[in-house]
Structure 1
Amino acid sequence: MRNDKTLTGGQALVRLLANYGVDTVFGIPGVHTLELYRGLPGSGIRHVLTRHEQGAGFMADGYARVSGKPGVAFIITGPGVTNAATAIGQAYADSIPLLVISSVNHTASLGKGWGCLHETQDQRAMTAPISAFSAVALSPEDLPELIARAYAVFDSERPRPVHISVPLDVLAAPIARDWTAEVVRRPGRGLPAAAALQQAVAKLAGAQRPMIIAGGGALHAAEALAALSERLAAPLFTSVAGKGLLAPQAALAAGATLCTQAGWDMIAEADVVLAIGTEMADTDYWRERLPLSGEVIRVDLDARKFNDFYPCAVALLGDAKASAEALLAALPGAARDAGGAHARVAQLRQQLEASHAPLQLIHKAILERIATVLPENAFIASDMTQLAYTANYLFPSRAPRGWLHPTGYGTLGYGVPAGIGAKFGAPERPGLVLVGDGGFLYTAQELATASEELDSPLVVLLWNNDALGQIRDDMLSLDIEPVGVLPRNPDFALLGRAYGCAVRQPQSLDELERDLRAGFAHPGVTLVELKHACAR
């Protein structure tokens, strides 16, 4: 037991995080993080024990997407960092604020190759390409500066993950002064230049067929975007990350349909496209390039986006909400005739309805049952599975931060831990996970965390087609004989019960609806296994 009252670097770091508003951390204690964990008791921060560091990263990601606050993970040196790297990469691709605190070997050994436990040649270099920055604290007094720098990214820049490595001796060293209350926040991301705003207003005011594409960077701008869409009589598309920005029943809501032929045809008709808070990535569009014939106005925090795949006529460097409000204030106040735009969105919906292939019709039937019973304030965390791919454009999201999908990096195994993490970010909201049998087995062990920690509804809908279905279908479409796509699955019901879940196995869509309803009424985790044959 330590008898002195001087805080160690690890203890002080935890206190500092608490003062930044951190209320939850995800992780697994190890021999290299003991001094970090010394600071948790009495800190007010809840520690959630995950069963794998990748799960810790995905849980922190889900927490961040639902709450809007940075998700935080504590992981060990070496294998902890490499295990979490996939989750860090996913957060980087989807612009999610993630703070990963790891240990690293003693400062005297760094880069020496002495063969220390968990040693890597350069731990910082492993995460640098998939983070806003990756740094090593070489003394306890480096920590407040590095945490302030991390929150500057989260508050003022494109929000991406940050990895801070703390050597074992720095975690254990007494601090020279008490810096635990030195909280530095830089809220606000500012307005674009006035001249650029004027150019954008002129182009939007003169447009005959304006349209809007909004992404995850605009999740806090829903009200302003709805008003801007109405003012311009502009149909509003979203990326997958932006689902829910406009109520699905709104006459101008074109949804996340830019991955469909109907969506491509419609966006090609725009003479001006306002792209706000979206990197306009092919992972949202399912094609290399959108058929844009009109001018593009872009609002983004990342200046690199202005001249990449879609060079823009006007670049607005600034916050999505502030920029949308500034455009609204400067645009003519007179209402435009929206009849044509309303009719075009209605036509888009009709075209989508007529375009479903047989597999998508099966998915549609499942999604309709989900929509019938899904609680009003629920969120959905989805994995990389065919059911979710269809749901990305077909399932209506009622509000922002209600649809969590690993779009950019596209990693299997995201859904279950992200859904668990989201429950900690919004414990009052029921959760639904959509996951395929292949992706489920990447992170199924995190059901142990869910059963241990959750006392409110989380329903895991396991879409079991006994295959890596998308890859099998891709092989067949390319005339490749399927190899490695028909795994032998375990008994998922037994597995779920072993982890303490309530388990249901509906044999029809009617039973699915009944079982989902029961799951949302159960104060804990329910695993619903739906076989492909039972959904026909």
Structure 2
Amino acid sequence: MTTCGEFLVKQLEAWGVDTVFGIPGVHTVELYRGLPHSGIRHVTPRHEQGAGFMADGYARSTGKPGVCFIITGPGMTNILTAMAQAYADSIPMLVISSVNERERLGLGKGYLHELPNQRELVAGVSAFSHTLMSVEELPGVLARAFAVFEGERPRPVHIELPLDIITAPAGHMRLQAKPSVSRPAPAVAQLREAAAKLRGAKRPLLLLGGGCVEAQAEARALATALDAPTALTINAKGLLPPGHPLLLGSNQSLLPVRQLALEADVVLAIGTELGETDYDVVFDGNFKLGGELIRIDIDAQQLLRNHMPSLAIQSDARLAMRLLLADLPRGELRADSPGARRTAAVQAQLAEDFSGWAHYRQLFATVLEALPEARFVGDSTQTVYSGNHLVELDGARRWFNSSTGYGTLGYGLPAAIGAKLGEPARPVVCLIGDGGIQFTLPELASAVEAGVGIIVLLWNNAGYGEIKRYMERRDITPIGVDIYTPDLIAIARGYGCAAEQARDHAHLAELLRGAPADRPLVIEVLESAPFHP
């Protein structure tokens, strides 16, 4: 007999799922019955939050949904933080969980792992949550999930299977072909109006967000055609390469870029929330637009949040860019164009603002010299905050972290594991602090078990250094931030990792080049000379 759980595994594999993250429990073991006979790899984290973060990192590196198998009750409460980070950053994630038998739902009798209502629990961190009430519903609900991932703003989806449904007969079911879902195209009249406004602009500004990561070629062509200084959100890094004459970086919170935004007569914002964690990390509310705003976004509601546009176009970013480019004069990239001169003036001011950050520049230069193709997966930590401003990479999906959106700690390590599993050939550098790594430190064991050769660049300032400085700037006596920091090198070695403390930049480069391929390398960098003069 083929059970519903076995059929689910076959259907996921048929639709391209190659990796599942999960911790087997008594309520999910029947989901695992079909896995040994499939081509799907199972990765066991040490906490369900780690499963969600791994799925997130996998999705960001591949563009495919990360998939989790999660137990009823505590498994769902544990994964909520990871779902919230993915929800905030528009990451496709499929969370498949068990739930108590249909006849026991919502009774409050104290059954194992019982919650009053799991669907209500995840409502705020998912595009939708569905309880499967019959085996026959499964293909249609999975199709809805993949429609979210591929046809609209991607976000987590939760599907829960009652225990009696997981084991129900499904031999009569046939595998379904994955439906092809197209993304919304722009209204032609609106796009022509936008093109006309942009052709007439004297001081255009281009703002690109994470919704544009699949449109790298179009983004570069559009910046050139508009001759527009271009700012990228954290999740959009790499859309324009380092040294591009129109690249402003991810510095929208800093005064020189803000002044440019005030002076622009037409601003085109594509695939960006225009949200606080990319445009106002100083939290003063002073990112303002002086000219006309044109917004393009796949999410109709997002078009009208944060900054009200004069023209709001619901569309997939790449489709809109391609059609817009057809209605604009072909541009030529020149280092002396008006847009390039405006950009250069801002970059000169930014260079002065960052003059005290030479130690961070040298740190990243050392890493990129040793690993020029590296992907950086970060937590909320000082190297991430500085790198958000300083680092530019040639290619999207190479820089992401949890300092944006939901802003959780503990993300970096498991997300780096997921990213490496998604694209094993690319070096992955996890940027994390001594405080953040202690949130998900046991996932080092998961990485060793899975043979994942990530590099963990551990910035150690013996506590929650950024929060301590934040308190001191507000004349608050620091409390709760000078935490006990264990010997993280010894702990990493105990988990089976390679681990060393970098003495200086030359030693760091040597360690990076010699990183093992089959297990993590933890490199501790102390926040002291020579890394922080």
Q: Under a length normalisation based on structure 2, what TM-score does the superposition of the two structures give?
A: 0.96
Counterpart of 2:86 in 1: which secondary structure?
helix
* Partner of residue 195 from structure 2, selected from 198, 201, 206: 201
* Partner of residue 479 from structure 1, selected from 460, 475, 483: 475
**CA distance, structure 1, for counterparts of residue 315 and residue 229 of structure 2:** 22
Shift of 1:423: 0.8
Paired residue for 2:36? Answer: 41
Contact 1:232 1:336 in 2 (8 A): no
**CA distance, structure 2, for counterparts of residue 522 and residue 333 of structure 1:** 45
Shift of 1:142: 1.5
Residues 299-314 of structure 1: pairs in structure 2 closer than 5 A: 299-314=296-311
Residues 25-64 of structure 1: pairs in structure 2 closer than 5 A: 25-64=20-59
Paired residue for 1:400? Answer: 396
Contact 1:141 1:176 in 2 (8 A): no
Residues 517-536 of structure 1: pairs in structure 2 closer than 5 A: 517-519=513-515, 522-534=517-529, 535=531, 536=533
**CA distance, structure 2, for counterparts of residue 329 and residue 468 of structure 1:** 50
- Which one-letter code corresponds to 2:415 in the other structure? A
**CA distance, structure 2, for counterparts of residue 69 and residue 405 of structure 1:** 18
**CA distance, structure 2, for counterparts of residue 94 and residue 185 of structure 1:** 25
Q: Percent of aligned positions with the same letter in both sequences?
A: 47
* Partner of residue 344 from structure 1, selected from 342, 345, 350: 342
Structure 1's 531 and 336: CA in aligned 2 closer, same or farther, altered over 3 A?
closer
**CA distance, structure 2, for counterparts of residue 170 and residue 23 of structure 1:** 24
Residues 353-368 of structure 1: pairs in structure 2 closer than 5 A: 353-356=351-354, 358=356, 360-368=357-365
Residues 110-259 of structure 1: pairs in structure 2 closer than 5 A: 110-175=105-170, 177-179=172-174, 181-259=175-253
Q: Extract unaligned runs of 5+ from structure 1.
A: 1-5
Paired residue for 1:71? Answer: 66
Paired residue for 2:265? Answer: 271
- Which one-letter code corresponds to 2:509 in the other structure? E
Shift of 1:58: 0.3
Shift of 1:190: 2.8
Spell out, residue by residue over 1:48-98, the C-alpha distance to the aligned partner (whole angstroms, 9 max, x if none).
111110000000000000000000011100000000000000000000000
Shift of 1:144: 1.0
**CA distance, structure 1, for counterparts of residue 205 and residue 179 of structure 2:** 35
**CA distance, structure 1, for counterparts of residue 24 and residue 333 of structure 2:** 59
**CA distance, structure 2, for counterparts of residue 445 and residue 59 of structure 1:** 13
Residues 353-432 of structure 1: pairs in structure 2 closer than 5 A: 353-356=351-354, 358=356, 360-376=357-373, 378-406=374-402, 407-432=404-429
Shift of 1:170: 0.4
Residues 434-473 of structure 1: pairs in structure 2 closer than 5 A: 434-454=431-451, 457-473=453-469
Query: Is 1:506 the counterpart of 2:497 in the alignment?
Result: no
Shift of 1:365: 3.0
Spell out, residue by residue over 1:418-442, the C-alpha distance to the aligned partner (whole angstroms, 9 max, x if none).
0000011101111100001110000
Contact 1:148 1:183 in 2 (8 A): no
Counterpart of 1:444 in 2: which secondary structure?
coil
* Partner of residue 291 from structure 1, selected from 282, 288, 292: 288
Paired residue for 2:491? Answer: 495
Contact 2:273 2:306 in 1 (8 A): no
Spell out, residue by residue over 1:488-533, the C-alpha distance to the aligned partner (whole angstroms, 9 max, x if none).
11111111101111111012233223222322x6543100001111
**CA distance, structure 1, for counterparts of residue 253 and residue 440 of structure 2:** 28
Deviates more, 1:279-288 or 1:64-73: 279-288
Contact 2:430 2:457 in 1 (8 A): yes
Paired residue for 2:78? Answer: 83
Q: Extract unaligned runs of 5+ from structure 2.
A: none
- Which one-letter code corresponds to 1:221 in the other structure? A
Q: Over aligned residues, Cα RMSD in angstroms?
A: 1.5
Query: Is 1:96 the counterpart of 2:91 in the alignment?
Result: yes
Shift of 1:148: 0.4
**CA distance, structure 2, for counterparts of residue 357 and residue 399 of structure 1:** 26
Contact 2:226 2:331 in 1 (8 A): no
Contact 1:282 1:289 in 2 (8 A): no
Paired residue for 1:3? Answer: none
Counterpart of 1:493 in 2: which secondary structure?
helix
Contact 2:247 2:343 in 1 (8 A): yes
Counterpart of 2:95 in 1: which secondary structure?
strand
**CA distance, structure 2, for counterparts of residue 471 and residue 204 of structure 1:** 43
Counterpart of 1:462 in 2: which secondary structure?
strand
Structure 1's 83 and 336: CA in aligned 2 closer, same or farther, altered over 3 A?
closer
Number of paired residues?
Answer: 526
- Which one-letter code corresponds to 1:380 in the other structure? F
Spell out, residue by residue over 1:109-145, the C-alpha distance to the aligned partner (whole angstroms, 9 max, x if none).
1110010000000011110111100111111112111
